[in-house]
């Protein structure tokens, strides 16, 4: 919910898109009803759930046991229970329990239920995300293609260097560049909390979405995945930064054929933005050199 602002109509579109791209919808329902969508008066969580049901997504729910909830109230106070929309929560809970669901008392129950449920779903070959063994792309063929692409890439780099020497730096005052400047200003205005474990200052810091995108541009262009064993930095970029960039069509969330993980990578708009930034920096350096010589 940190990705959205109240009343932003695009937030439900983004939520629906994420659900459409998912193979299984899982709901963990505790003692709170959640943030309310202003137009419908229904919580975003319930709207998500209803949409997943409408789309006939494979789904399951884990609902907190009432006795366990009472114990949590004694331990943590009334902040763990719903105060304003108790009746709506009860109706939502009753609705959820009519479909595939189970109860949990603590995190161990949740882990067990997730493991068992996903294992069952993994055996369902009718899921859209299922890739059978005979559909997996030959790895050697992929390696050969990657090798060929690297050779082509090196050749293109050489041609680009030659071309840059022959042409002057183009004017950067076009309409499209004005739009790029507006995107840069917008990304600069969005703050992101960087956890201490990946911060160079070894403490939680706040940085702009633009600076993160620019400083980690190589990772975004090559693609950031949710593969098991990813670094803390990759996981932070995948789960905390990429969704924010996706809202502005800077990156796209895509399923990679032949594997089970997903990838965020730059869109055409994102690549054009990076090209504009590099062009602008090059122009600035050339200008500084000319001023120094004069």
Query: Domain-by-domain residue ranges, the chain?
Result: 10-130, 137-167, 168-293
How far is CA 55 from each of CA 11, 41, 42, 171, 228, rounded to the nearest angstrom? 18, 22, 19, 49, 28
62 phi, psi to nearest 5 deg: -120, 115
Cβ-contact 61, 101 below 8 angstroms: yes
**pLDDT (0 to 100) of residue 166:** 63
CB 256 within 8 A of CB 226: no
User: How many Cα atoms are found within 13 Å in the side-chain-facing hemisphere of 45?
Assistant: 17
Q: Determine the number of helices (DSSP H) and then strands (DSSP E) in the chain.
A: 12, 8
Low-confidence spans in the chain with pLDDT less than 70: 1-10, 124-140, 142, 165-175, 294
pLDDT at 136: 55
Q: How many CA atoms lie within 13 A of 114 on its CB side?
A: 10
The predicted pLDDT at position 9 comes to 57
Q: What is the pTM of this model?
A: 0.45
């Amino acid at each position: 919910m940190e990705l959205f602002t109240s009343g932003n109509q695009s937030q439900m579109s983004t939520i629906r898109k994420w659900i459409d791209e998912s193979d299984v919808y899982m709901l963990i329902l505790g003692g709170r009803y959640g943030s309310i969508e202003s137009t419908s008066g229904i919580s975003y969580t319930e709207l998500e759930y209803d949409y997943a049901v409408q789309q006939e997504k494979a789904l399951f729910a884990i609902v907190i046991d009432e006795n366990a909830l009472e114990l949590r109230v004694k331990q943590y106070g009334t902040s763990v229970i719903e105060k304003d929309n108790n009746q709506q929560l009860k109706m939502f809970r009753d609705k959820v329990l009519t479909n595939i669901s189970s109860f949990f008392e603590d995190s161990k129950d949740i882990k067990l239920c997730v493991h068992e449920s996903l294992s069952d779903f993994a055996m369902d070959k009718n899921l859209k995300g299922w890739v059978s063994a005979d559909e997996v792309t030959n790895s050697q063929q992929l390696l050969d293609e990657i090798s060929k692409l690297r050779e082509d890439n090196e050749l293109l780099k050489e041609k680009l260097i030659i071309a840059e020497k022959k042409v002057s730096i183009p004017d950067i005052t076009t309409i499209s560049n004005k739009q790029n400047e507006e995107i840069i200003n917008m990304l600069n205005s969005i703050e992101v909390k960087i956890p201490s474990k990946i911060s160079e200052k070894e403490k939680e810091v706040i940085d702009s979405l633009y600076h993160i995108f620019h400083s980690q541009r190589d990772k975004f262009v090559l693609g950031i995945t949710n593969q098991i064993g990813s670094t803390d930095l990759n996981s932070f970029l995948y789960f905390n930064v990429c969704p924010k960039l996706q809202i502005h069509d800077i990156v796209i969330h895509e399923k990679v054929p032949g594997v089970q993980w997903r990838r965020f990578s730059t869109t055409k708009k994102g690549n054009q933005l990076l090209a504009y930034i590099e062009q602008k920096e090059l122009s600035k350096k050339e200008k500084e050199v000319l001023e120094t010589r004069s």
